[in-house]
A and B are shown apart, each in its own frame.
Chain A
Amino acid sequence: MGNATKPGNGEFENTAPIEQIAPNAIFFNEVPTLLAEVDTNLTYSNLNRAYAEFFGRTVEATVGLHVSQVLGASYGEARQHLESALSGVYERYQFLAPHNSGSDRWLDVRYLPKHNSKNEVVGVFVVVSDVDEIVRSRVVIEQRNKSLERMNQELIDFSYSLSHDLKAPLTSIAALLDVCREDLQDGHITELLPNIERAKNHAERLAGRIENVLTLAKSEITECAADELNIAERVDAICKLLGVDSHAELVTEFNHVEPFFSDHTRFTAIVQNLLSNSVKFVDNNKPQHRISIRTWGDEEWLHCSIEDNGIGIPEKYQSKVFEKFERMPNHSESGSGLGLAIVKRNIDFMEGEISFQSDSNTTRFEFRIPNLRARE
């Protein structure tokens, strides 16, 4: 490389074409940049080690090969750029090339037309940088940005709904206390007790909402555990807790594969919220309230359906059922509008799926969650 650089100032002194200096220069083979030269037939006349090794080849075995033999399926994309370079145009593009590891990598490719003394194009210099990490991290960053934007919007919506839904009961309680004080001062005691009772109900509902908000928040931040679950026992305990028996005729059928491993808390949150809706939204026009819980599945998935003959979800609200703070009209007293949002969050977190069908006869929620042991 003695004639390539001028010691001391580091500037190129020699303006000779690369093919004259490169074969003799150690740096040509040592630079990490992929360098090559192709002739007008698109065969390699020269290349460095980085270029050959990227494609899992040696320099010697590659000289004389056609570009298509080295690029394989990626040649199609390179071809138009090469042809354009052969017509004298400087080309730069990025594409996925087959790396020797077996997985494709993103390359930043420049084609520089090589001219002879008559200014005719006699080949193309190829200068390639491996930009795989940059491109891939840019994709990841873009995805993260999008998800951050979405989360931010969700947070704004959430805090708005939250401020209303937590504030509304407090406003009511304060107003009821004012009313009670007024009545006491005026000596009117007939409405005192019912108003104290009202205030107490609001306070209890508020406590319930805060509990739900915390459950929801927790379901978004805690890790997924993988405990062995006794599904039948768990479902039974939830039914007892909700008093399902006293509200409806209950049928359970457990046909899933055991052992089943999942997150105990999340599974409970899902089933408890679905069942509590079944219990809450009974249709008093029907002679018998029925709720059935069924499980089935294989080594990988637990499927579970919870079905009732309650009032159902009117079609126009069906698209909103999994949204936070959505409540059905005429049942505002009973819910925080968070139950199904909690269900959905937990299912999503466990990488499961949930769907439902509802009409005035039957409402059926069906979900599946992975057996975490089977996934290991």
Chain B
Amino acid sequence: MNLLFVIVDDEETDRYLMRRSLKKTGVDAELLEFSTGDDFIAAIYDDQSPLVIKSTACTVLVVLDINMPGLNGFEVVDKIAQGIEQERLPKELYVILMCSSSEHPDDKLDALNRSIVREYMAKPVTAEKLRDIIDQYCKIDQ
């Protein structure tokens, strides 16, 4: 197994729905969940975090909600980009997908204007959509 699937979303229901979609894809991935952007950012710099320990050998697919209390999705992406630029985070490791129940065109634009964001998806994200994305962006052994 070499896919680490990370869900960052403050809504428990939305994390559940994402988990379910992932399960339905049949992709074998290790799953990590964070209910805030702050917790996720703390984890990617924490040497003890499973995110850091596992990540060296796999692709980290991050599904990131936009509207969250504390650090919002955009701020999380900017912090990761900053980390990559300062070489504190490995390049080419994170595949970041942003999602929101908002279909505001500005959100989509803001998301895709960030070079490390690969896709913007409206919620709910179906298993089919997720499977397409995994096939497209992640080199995994199946």
Contacts and interface: CB of A to CB of B under 8 A. Distances in A.
Of B13, B14, B36, most A-chain CB atoms within 10 Å: B13
Contacts of B50: none
A172 B38 CA distance: 23
Which secondary structure characterizes the binding site on chain A? helix
Contacts of B124: 171-172, 174-175, 178
Contacts, number: 66
Interface in B3-35: 10-14, 16-17, 20, 35
Contacts of B69: 326-332, 337
B10 A172 contact: no
A228 B10 CA distance: 44
A333 interface: yes
Interface string A186-215: 000000000000100010000000000000
Given A160-B104, A164-B67, A175-B123, A329 B11 contact: no
B90 interface: no
Contacts of B16: 198
A313 to B, nearest CB: 12
B141 to A, nearest CB: 29
Nearest to B125: A175
Contacts of A175: 13, 17, 123-124
A179 B20 contact: yes
A4 interface: no
Given A172-B14, A172-B17, A329-B10, A167 B68 contact: no
Interface string A138-168: 0000000000000000000000100110011
A22 interface: no
Contact of B101 (A164, A317, A327, A331): A164
B49 to A, nearest CB: 18
Contacts of A160: 102, 104
A176 interface: yes
Interface of A: 160, 163-164, 167-168, 171-172, 174-176, 178-179, 198, 202, 317, 326-333, 337
Given A172-B17, A172-B101, 7 more contacts: A164-B100, A171-B101, A174-B124, A179-B17, A202-B13, A329-B37, A329-B70
Interface of B: 10-14, 16-17, 20, 35-39, 67-71, 100-102, 104, 123-124
